[in-house]
């Protein structure tokens, strides 16, 4: 019977569209920064839906909310979840899909009168985006025990408000302790936030890993000179060195190939005048790879090139590590199961890494974990134009449903 | 007797140092923006020195001031001059040297009881720098007839004050008409504002020309995508295209060689986030050459490369001409005379272009004109650390003196 069980697309879309009304922007999109008034409204509404489903609700000291659907046995639940906070120019799907698909999966179980062997839970974690409070994903991190509650509560936003104050203000500093809740399995359904599935016409992304991330900031100090009176041979152009590093970063990505990506997203140039040779440039390079050894190789290539190019141009260069995360590999058994269920449902799928960070990479430290990606039009995310076809959302939620049932009912 | 006539170094340095007290910055350097209170003090003091020398003073409707030392004949004067306004972080020498050297030359003539055949004049022109009112050099431009008085008087600074109001306020809207004063010869002594003479140990720069200038602004529109989730093959990176154009501009300068210079001084990048592929970059390219055909060739190379690179990366590019001045060539006879007088004085010299703009390039439309450059430590100018050795200033003023005497006494 469970083989033919299917989610209700219309109800799923209703969940997503209703959630999208909290913090809705004129003309489309959503601004629902973590712990804002809009976040409170959204949280209240999700909790009301959990209550309507008769779930046991657990709100912990950092504001993570879990709704638990009873199983036949009183054991740790198989859990679905993601986040409902957004960036300032967010869409309806990033994070929200994973939570609403979870609600829909439980609604389907309830409608069908199914009580699985293990409890099934749906969770949303506080501040995945990091758009208001840094670092991102601190909700799941505190839940998992990777960050202390005290540190997290003391984090301030740009206006100086702390997470603790804001949790109190919206009434979501719960009583449930952090760092001690056991989870049997975790599944996060999410839009890809990249263009691969959309461009290749694939319905299900079987997420094997999260790319390792290396963020480096280079500061380049040259000499500011008059653009007209300084012969080329006498220049020490910080801007030129930055440009060469940018071009080289692209070459590194091509040379290494595979999952390797390289991005120069930030540059600031001083004095930034049309007729003055730049003397001070700060730039960033974002390198990512699913293989940590290859990522290290990319870093070495880049750092050596930067040193040598600076020497050639006679400028000083220094670098600062802004972030460095090793790649994360999800649980092979769960990843395989996602692939099998997609095949069983007649949906084409692709094993792929996630290029972005997700709560699942934190939960992965606690229990067998994997992710399910659905396509995302033109790869647009963190964008008011973020869009996924309802049929694709439905397909992803159905795979979530069947994987969760398999895990919940396994011997 | 005129062969052995020499300026008084101590007096010249006194002139320069006194002028440098008006608008002096703490710790060194000068801020004397055009038509400011500091500019008024400096103007009043220069005029008082002209009066002390018994010069006939002519203040025109745009605030240019000329002091005329009588000759034996009532004919157009041979004239020296430059400007006394500075940029916000200026030094003691840029512009001021040409005016103070002129005062010193006339002081020397007077001390020696010499009355040359033609009158000898020294002038300072309003707002050469353009640091407060754009365009730069409008004082000499109105003097020469290249810009109407009405247009110039209506120019506003960032606070909305017009040139006309500010001239009235400081008492320098004179009565002498513009566009009709005849000049026999014009000589502008100036610090090089570049490193060539200093680095090569040369005392006198024989300025043959002013480089042609081409300023282009490129606007590059790509697609903003997630740095982690967007495969390299699916990117449209505006920042990468900008970087490639920067690197190519340097290659063009090397390939063309000679006086060709190329500078990318300005770049702005959006959204300018470490983990987002840039979708909007504005950048400038400053190309200069003394040969207009070669300058056009450099432009063509650059523009073609920019178009092709944008096409390869799948981004839109547009360009806007911000400035385009043809090269200016000074009067061969006067240029040769400067070189001869340097040789006669036992000073090494070098024929060179000016990479920066100067009032002389405007005056050149009215009469035989040339410039004399003196070294400038490390090429620093528009900088509070601007410095020229007193001996080098003296040498330059002596060449100015002998050239002016030759021109004033020629048959």
A407 secondary structure, DSSP code: H
User: Of A271, A274, A355, which has the smallest distance from its Cβ to B226's Cβ?
Assistant: A355
State the helix-helix crossing angle for A9-19 and A96-111, rounded to 10 degrees.
Answer: 140
User: Of A229, A284, A379, which has the smallest distance from its Cβ to B230's Cβ?
Assistant: A379
B262 at A interface, C-beta within 8 A: yes
| Chain A residues touching B381 at Cβ < 8 A | 226, 229
User: Of A239, A276, A383, which has the smallest distance from its Cβ to B246's Cβ?
Assistant: A239
Which residues 268-297 in chain A show a CB within 8 A of chain B?
268-269, 271-278, 284, 286, 288
Distance from CA of A9 to the nearest CA of B (A): 27
> CA nearest B192 in A: which residue?
A229
Phi first, then psi: what are they for A280, rounded to 5°? Answer: -150, 110
Residues near A131 by beta carbon (within 8 Å), at least 6 away in sequence: A33, A34, A85, A86, A87, A88
- Distance, in Å, from the CA atom of B353 to the CA atom of B347, rounded to the nearest integer, reads 19
Phi first, then psi: what are they for B212, rounded to 5°? Answer: -70, 145
User: Of A211, A231, A275, which has the smallest distance from its Cβ to B286's Cβ?
Assistant: A275
pLDDT given for residue B4 in this prediction:
77
B232 at A interface, C-beta within 8 A: yes
| Chain A residues touching B382 at Cβ < 8 A | 226
> CA nearest A249 in B: which residue?
B240
Q: Over 50: is that where the pLDDT of B208 sits?
A: yes
pLDDT given for residue B172 in this prediction:
98
Q: Which tokens belong to B367?
A: 């009469």
Q: Where are the domains of chain A?
A: 2-210+328-409, 212-325
Tens of pLDDT along A147-163? 999 999 999 998 999 99
Q: What is the DSSP pairing of strand A204-210 with strand A349-354?
A: parallel
Task: List the end-to-end C-alpha distance of chain B, in Å, as a whole number.
Answer: 17
ipTM over 0.90: no
Q: Over 80: is that where the pLDDT of B396 sits?
A: yes
| Chain A residues touching B194 at Cβ < 8 A | 225-226, 228-231
Percent of chain A with pLDDT over 90: 93
pLDDT given for residue A253 in this prediction:
98
What length does chain A have? Answer: 411
pLDDT given for residue A134 in this prediction:
83
CATH architecture, range A2-210+328-409: 3-Layer(aba) Sandwich (3.40)
Distance from CA of B356 to the nearest CA of A (A): 6
Tens of pLDDT along B219-236? 999 998 889 999 999 999
pLDDT given for residue B3 in this prediction:
53
- Distance, in Å, from the CA atom of B73 to the CA atom of B173, rounded to the nearest integer, reads 29
Q: Over 90: is that where the pLDDT of B247 sits?
A: yes
> CA nearest B280 in A: which residue?
A265
State the helix-helix crossing angle for A238-256 and B238-256, rounded to 10 degrees.
Answer: 120
Q: Which tokens belong to A72?
A: 């036949």
Confidence at B266, pLDDT banded by 50, 70, 90: very high
Would you say A124 and A46 are in contact if contact means Cβ atoms under 8 Å apart?
yes
- Distance, in Å, from the CA atom of A386 to the CA atom of A29, rounded to the nearest integer, reads 8
Tens of pLDDT along A257-291? 999 999 999 999 999 989 899 999 999 999 999 99
B226 at A interface, C-beta within 8 A: yes
B88 at A interface, C-beta within 8 A: no
> CA nearest B289 in A: which residue?
A228
B239 at A interface, C-beta within 8 A: yes
Tens of pLDDT along A315-331? 999 999 988 889 999 99
- Distance, in Å, from the CA atom of A84 to the CA atom of A370, rounded to the nearest integer, reads 19
CATH architecture, range A212-325: 2-Layer Sandwich (3.30)
Tens of pLDDT along B29-85? 999 999 999 999 999 999 999 999 999 999 999 999 999 999 999 999 999 999 999
Distance from CA of A136 to the nearest CA of B (A): 13
A3 at B interface, C-beta within 8 A: no
Tens of pLDDT along B103-161? 999 999 999 999 999 999 999 999 999 889 988 899 999 999 999 999 999 999 989 99
- Distance, in Å, from the CA atom of A37 to the CA atom of A169, rounded to the nearest integer, reads 9
Looking at every residue in chain A, the average pLDDT score rounds to: 96
Would you say A242 and A272 are in contact if contact means Cβ atoms under 8 Å apart?
no
User: Of A239, A247, A265, which has the smallest distance from its Cβ to B264's Cβ?
Assistant: A239
Q: What is the DSSP pairing of strand A204-210 with strand A328-329?
A: antiparallel
A246 at B interface, C-beta within 8 A: yes
B380 secondary structure, DSSP code: -
Confidence at A185, pLDDT banded by 50, 70, 90: very high
Residue A331 marked as a ligand binder: no
């Amino acid at each position: 019977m469970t083989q033919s069980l299917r989610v209700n697309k219309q109800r799923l879309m209703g969940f997503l569209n209703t959630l999208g009304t909290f913090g809705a922007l004129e003309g489309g999109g959503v601004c629902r920064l973590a712990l804002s008034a809009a976040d409170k409204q959204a949280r209240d509404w999700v909790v009301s839906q959990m209550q309507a489903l008769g779930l046991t609700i657990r709100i912990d000291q950092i504001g993570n909310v879990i709704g638990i659907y009873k199983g036949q046995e009183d054991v740790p639940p198989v859990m679905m979840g993601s986040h409902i906070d957004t960036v300032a120019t967010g869409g309806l799907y990033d994070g929200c899909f994973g939570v609403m698909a979870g609600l829909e999966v439980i609604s389907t179980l309830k409608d069908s009168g199914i009580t699985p062997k293990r409890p099934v839970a749906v969770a949303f974690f506080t501040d995945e985006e990091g758009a208001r409070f840094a670092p991102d994903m601190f909700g799941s991190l505190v839940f998992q025990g990777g960050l202390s509650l005290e540190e997290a509560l003391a984090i301030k936003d740009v206006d100086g408000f702390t997470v603790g104050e804001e949790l109190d203000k919206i009434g979501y500093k719960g009583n449930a302790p952090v760092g001690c809740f056991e989870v049997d399995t975790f599944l996060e359904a999410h839009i890809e936030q990249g263009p691969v599935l959309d461009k290749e016409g694939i319905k299900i992304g079987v997420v094997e890993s999260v790319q390792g991330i290396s963020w480096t900031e280079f500061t380049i100090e040259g000499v500011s000179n008059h653009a007209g009176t300084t012969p080329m041979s006498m220049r020490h152009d910080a801007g030129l060195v930055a440009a060469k590093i940018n071009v080289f970063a692209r070459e590194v990505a091509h040379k290494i190939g595979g999952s390797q990506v390289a991005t120069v997203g930030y540059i600031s140039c001083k004095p930034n005048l049309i007729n003055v040779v730049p003397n001070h440039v700060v730039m960033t390079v974002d390198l990512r790879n699913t293989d940590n050894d290859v990522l290290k190789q990319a870093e070495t290539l880049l750092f050596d090139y930067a040193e040598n190019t600076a020497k050639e141009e006679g400028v000083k260069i220094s670098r600062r590590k802004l972030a460095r995360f090793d790649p994360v590999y999800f649980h092979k058994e769960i990843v395989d199961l996602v692939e099998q269920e997609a095949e069983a449902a007649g949906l084409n799928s692709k094993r792929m890494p996630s290029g972005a960070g997700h709560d699942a990479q934190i939960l992965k430290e606690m229990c067998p974990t994997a992710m399910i990606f659905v396509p995302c039009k033109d790869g647009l995310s963190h964008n008011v134009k973020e869009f996924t076809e309802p049929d694709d959302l439905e397909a992803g939620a159905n795979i979530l449903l069947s994987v969760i049932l398999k895990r919940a009912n396994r011997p």
